[in-house]
Structure 1
Amino acid sequence: MAELTPRTRLGYSLGSFVTGAFGTVPGLLLLPYLTDTMAVPAAVAGAIVLLPKAWDVLFNPLAGRLSDAGLARHGSRRPFLLLGGIGVAVCFAALFAHPGLGSMPRDAAYVVAVFFLCATAFAFFQVPYNALPAEITDAYDERTRLTSWRIAVLALAILVSGAGAPAIADAVGGIPGYRVMGVAVAALMIAGTVGVYLGLRRAPVGALRAPTPRFRELLATMREWRSFRWLLSVYFVQALGVGTLLAGVVYVARYVLGDPGLQSLLFAGFVGPALVVMPLWNRLGQRGGKLLGFRVATAVFAVALFGLVGARVLPLPVVFGFVALAGIGYAGIQVFPLAILPDLITAEEERTGATRAGVAAGVWTAAETLGLALGPGLFGLVLGLGGYVSTAGGITVAQPGSAVAAIVVGFSAIPAVLVLLGIPLLPRRVVAGPGRGRVLEPRP
């Protein structure tokens, strides 16, 4: 298949404004929204953040199967992108609307219900979005290039939403601030949805194969597809680490660094370097292979996180230096697994003669979503163990030393250990089929 045009790469990448915003803002703000405006206990708030996204573990593979069927019937996954993107934007605005139902349990139940709808709509966008790279190009290096474009735009989306959302919420203040923030982020999601829908009008669609007819065949594929399971396990534990890290940003700025206004700068310092180093990760992947790049990025990320263990005593510029280094590693651990995934899908589709992109993307997205959702839940549990004091109305109160220590550990050491687990989980070579097959490294 020919090299993709810059227009196609950019059009595909614009979908990252949907995935970046939804993957980032709830992880940053939903936990403090619950603990500091509704007075929900930290451990309960962590469970609330987790439960709706845990639904994706069951639903995302179904969304992938429906997406595969839609591709076979209509020859395109674009309708799913349009409907899913608009749906998640509307539900996101409703998530932070805070209807004020008269009691903390009722308001918390509202958040749970709307978050369930939001996660379901997001599945119909993200699953086909993750399936597309396996279909619009079959070139090894072009997939790395396409993914690099996607992650560069993702970094911009995370920067805009992750830095902008807390700034909007703080500028307006209290419950109205969260409402305005929800509408602003929803508008960003709709812009990304329209951009990817129009940008892929002329994109290649690859070979149209029959979708998997029964779940029994899908389960058989997953049992045999060892390379996919290995890569998925690495991506899951690292997503868990990233989710835990992101959940701690607001708390670190407020209680460790002593200035809530620093949360936007922390986020900008984390995501900004990705825009600069993305070409370097792309070059390393082309020269040394995707697995080498993945390992190097993992090591860089973990070293930076261990450095942040000293955030309470280190000078502020040093803290931001470690944050920037973590951002460099984060860019790499996003690029390389997503560049390897379409290689695995192509090999499996050739082996089975059936479409696997949607269902594989569904399982992949379920693992990623669960990891990112478990992160705030894990961080909330650490806060609870540290004796964190929840409040109402967004008021900042003095926290015991044990709670501040828990914030630091949950923001740095725990994510570092989880990210490092990716290195021993990766085999020496990822094989493109069950048992034997092509090795997913460039041919000599």
Structure 2
Amino acid sequence: MPESVPERTPATVPTRPHGAGAPRGASGRVGPSSRLSTSTVARYAIGSLGTGGFATLPGLVLVFYLTDTLGVAAWAAGIAVSAAKVWDVLIDPVIGGFSDTNLHRTGSRRRVMIVGAVALPVFFLLTFAVPAGVSPVVAGLWVAIAFILASTSFSLFQVPYIALPAELSDHYDQRTRLLTTRVAVLSVAILLFGAGGPILRGIGNAYTGYLVMALVAGLVIAAGMLIATTVAPKGVPQPDAPAVPVSEGYREGFAALRRSAPFRALLGTFVLQALATGMMLAAANYVAVWVMHSSDALTFLFVALIGPAILFSPIWNAISRRAGKERSYVAASIVFTLAAASLSLAIWSPGAWMYLSVAVAGAAYAGMQALPMAMLPDVISHDARRTGAPRAGVFGGMWTAGETTGMALGAAALTVVLTVTGYIQTTAGHSVEQPASAVNGIAAAFGLIPAALTLLSLLFLSRYRLRRSDIDGPDIDLPEEAIA
């Protein structure tokens, strides 16, 4: 049954853009603006240059770095990478509660975001700084510890960053505009890091190449994140606000899951799709080398994926304004499922035709990223109206934990496939011949399995009940150019 939505009083729509002079809510913080300025949209979106870079590059090269440069067994590489993700899942709800507390005490989420943005490039560089000649055991431990620290820094930025859209605008279509713009930048980031990372990796020997890649990428990631911190709303600090204990972050997070059916449906969908895309991302390097027999194919795969994603981000914005976010999300997911399923043919006949399937998947991927993230602020504001207690940081923490879980399980699932199918790890400078079973497993991990997971996610999405009428009141009537 659809979740009932209580009657609400007409919303008060600010007539000035968010920022100085904008109206303040009862809490003393600046109230959200229905119409977002171009500057706010652009600066928020640039943050995805950082989040996209960190999500893409480790997912693309870290397992391959462990198995084919450091000589770590596939199953051990899976544990090393997954350890950081498990840690993320544990701390993200805590960071969400801490971010809400910090918002009350300082008037902004900016401080937490800056700490994460500054610390991340340091630990990211250390992740790929394993000295040559180190034993696989030591190398695996080195990478696991450094990546845990890098992931913690990322969460300090990402959790409050996810919470911001609900505080920047209270309008259904403006949130879609904000998030589709963010996904366009995210797509550029994936292309930049996915294609540029392997190029930088080719500088010098394998160890030097990874180090150069991590240094350049870390600086770009930090720059994007720091720019995004400037849009964090400022309000009146409440220094007497009580701190949220560690256990409170978990309690609030799971309470949000229990009471909000739309949140459960949306998060379940997104986690399964993150698992699917995480598996594809981790498998791409292996597909290029062992299925398509060309290390250059990795760059072409990313161009094929991200080019259409950049073009289709504004198209999904236009579609969602007419059909609604939830219906548009279903359509994007179905298209992605069909495109991923077609890649399964690479088991029998790999070739250049795969770029076309990847391009179709990329067009759908833009919608699969933008639309659920645009729906999340609707879920947050809906919950705040029902409970009277805004918890954007808590929702952001649970969302980030779920996304991290999905991406981690995607990479881990790939290592399971590699192990079961007999993949042979090696060290830099040595070559091996992979068995046919391992090559077939890689092809399945790039197409058939992600398609099945995305199809399964639609069962969760079918339970999402929020619609435009539940978010926008009848008094909200922005001019056409404000929501374009």
Q: TM range, normalised to the smaller chain? A: over 0.9
Letter in 2 for 1:365: T
Q: Compared with structure 1, are the counterparts of its residues 396 and 272 closer, same or farther at alpha carbon in structure 2 (3 Å cutoff)?
A: farther
Letter in 2 for 1:159: L
Aligned to 2:21: none
Give TM-score, length-normalised by structure 2.
0.86
Select which of 265, 268, 274 maps to 1:230. Answer: 265
The alpha-carbon deviation at position 122 of structure 1 amounts to 0.8
1:42-82 CA-to-partner distances (Å, cap 9, x unmatched) read 11111211111111111000001111111111111112221
The alpha-carbon deviation at position 442 of structure 1 amounts to 9.3
Aligned to 1:184: 216
Is 1:343 aligned with 2:375?
no
- Structure 2 alignment gaps of length 5 or more: 1-32, 478-484
Counterpart CA distance in 2 for 1:157 and 1:406 is 28
The alpha-carbon deviation at position 99 of structure 1 amounts to 3.1
Aligned to 1:81: 113
Aligned to 2:433: 398
Counterpart CA distance in 2 for 1:267 and 1:291 is 27
1:390-431 CA-to-partner distances (Å, cap 9, x unmatched) read 001154421111111011011111111111112121135424
- Higher mean C-alpha displacement, 416-425 vs 154-163: 416-425
Q: Compared with structure 1, are the counterparts of its residues 113 and 429 closer, same or farther at alpha carbon in structure 2 (3 Å cutoff)?
A: closer
Aligned to 1:104: 136
SS of aligned partner of 1:40: coil
Q: Compared with structure 1, are the counterparts of its residues 265 and 206 closer, same or farther at alpha carbon in structure 2 (3 Å cutoff)?
A: farther
Q: Compared with structure 1, are the counterparts of its residues 71 and 133 closer, same or farther at alpha carbon in structure 2 (3 Å cutoff)?
A: same
Aligned to 1:239: 274
- Higher mean C-alpha displacement, 395-404 vs 175-184: 395-404
Aligned to 1:30: 62
Aligned to 2:19: none
SS of aligned partner of 1:398: coil
Question: If you compute each CA radius of gyration, which structure gives the higher value, 1 or 2?
Answer: 2
Aligned to 2:34: 2
List aligned pairs for 1:248-267, cutoff 5 A. Answer: 248-267=283-302
Aligned to 1:379: 414
List aligned pairs for 1:332-371, cutoff 5 A. Answer: 332-371=367-406
The alpha-carbon deviation at position 194 of structure 1 amounts to 2.5
> How well do the aligned residues superpose, as a CA RMSD in angstroms?
2.4
Is 1:135 aligned with 2:170?
no
Counterpart CA distance in 1 for 2:242 and 2:399 is 17
Counterpart CA distance in 1 for 2:463 and 2:99 is 33
Aligned to 2:322: 287
Counterpart CA distance in 2 for 1:224 and 1:411 is 36
List aligned pairs for 1:397-416, cutoff 5 A. Answer: 397-416=432-451
Select which of 138, 146, 149 maps to 2:178. Answer: 146
The alpha-carbon deviation at position 224 of structure 1 amounts to 1.4
**Equivalent pair of 1:135/1:207 in contact (CA under 8 Å):** no
Is 1:174 aligned with 2:206?
yes
Q: Compared with structure 1, are the counterparts of its residues 282 and 110 closer, same or farther at alpha carbon in structure 2 (3 Å cutoff)?
A: same
Aligned to 2:20: none
Letter in 1 for 2:433: A
Aligned to 2:103: 71
**Equivalent pair of 1:53/1:116 in contact (CA under 8 Å):** yes
The alpha-carbon deviation at position 179 of structure 1 amounts to 0.8
**Equivalent pair of 1:252/1:408 in contact (CA under 8 Å):** yes
The alpha-carbon deviation at position 438 of structure 1 amounts to 6.6
The alpha-carbon deviation at position 355 of structure 1 amounts to 2.7
**Equivalent pair of 2:181/2:314 in contact (CA under 8 Å):** no
- Structure 1 alignment gaps of length 5 or more: none
1:167-212 CA-to-partner distances (Å, cap 9, x unmatched) read 21134341111111110110111210222134x27x577999x789
SS of aligned partner of 1:376: helix
Give TM-score, length-normalised by structure 1.
0.93
1:70-104 CA-to-partner distances (Å, cap 9, x unmatched) read 11111111122211112112111110011347321
**Equivalent pair of 1:237/1:422 in contact (CA under 8 Å):** yes
Q: Compared with structure 1, are the counterparts of its residues 149 and 217 closer, same or farther at alpha carbon in structure 2 (3 Å cutoff)?
A: closer
The alpha-carbon deviation at position 264 of structure 1 amounts to 1.1
